[in-house]
Amino acid sequence: MKIGVLALQGDFDAHRRRLEQLGAEVVLVRKPEQLDLIEALVIPGGESSTFLKLLGEQGLEKLKQFVRSKPTFGTCAGAILLASEVENPSQAGLGAVDMRVRRNAYGRQVDSSIRTGEMEGAPIEMVFIRAPRIERVGPAVQVLGREGATPVLVRQGKTLAATFHPELSPDARVHQAFLDMVRTTNGKG
Ligand code: GLN
């Protein structure tokens, strides 16, 4: 299975290592044409506004087309890019998940933290770094994980988004869930 990891900026290498551990072949995507070579994509954490600048209008359009047709997993800044609505401040995005996210929502004092949340009923470690908060999800969105009452891992169709950084915890469940999703989605055609 060939999985791309968007490698413009941010912590793409931890995703690469995790996906390789799980048996995927990883392509570090630095140019829009490389999207044609992969079956699925991970958009890592970083700074979502910087991603938008680096992608440019054409890159964003190409990425939008990809996300419409193939499984995509965004973490933190990646999740922000996938959202339909972004605030603090508002910015453009891919609109793949019907949700409103608020950037840097946890405030300066708690810039980063490791907390225990729940994924599909089981406890799981979650690393938050200047994380966005999901403030609203639409009816087509499935909430797969929560921290307290807040959704932190959500899925809409072939798109998965996490406001935390599963690539930074030893637990591989979230990436495994994505690879399973890729297998079933692409298998079905
Ligand atoms: N604060 C970043 C943003 O708003 C996201 C942080 C992250 O990806 N760790 O884009």
Predicted confidence (pLDDT) at residue 189 exceeds the cutoff of 50: no
Burial (CB count within 10 angstroms: exposed 0-12, middle 13-18, buried 19+), residue 182? buried
Q: What is the pLDDT of residues 16-33, one digit of tens each?
A: 999 999 999 999 999 999
Ligand 1 centre to CA of 164 (Å) is 10
Q: In what order do the strands lie in the sheet containing 122-129?
A: 25-29, 2-6, 40-43, 72-75, 159-162, 150-156, 142-147, 112-119, 122-129
Q: What is the pLDDT of residues 27-60, one digit of tens each?
A: 999 999 999 999 999 999 999 999 999 999 999 9
Q: Which CATH number is associated with domain 2-185?
A: 3.40.50.880
Q: What is the pLDDT of residues 123-143, one digit of tens each?
A: 999 999 999 999 999 999 999
- pLDDT of amino acid 175: 98
The DSSP string of 89-123 is S-------EEEEEETTTT-STTSEEEEEEEETTEE
Residue nearest to atom 4 of ligand 1 (CA): 103
Band of pLDDT at residue 186, cut at 50, 70 and 90: confident
Q: How far apart are CA 187 and CA 94, in angstroms?
A: 24
Residue nearest to atom 2 of ligand 1 (CA): 47
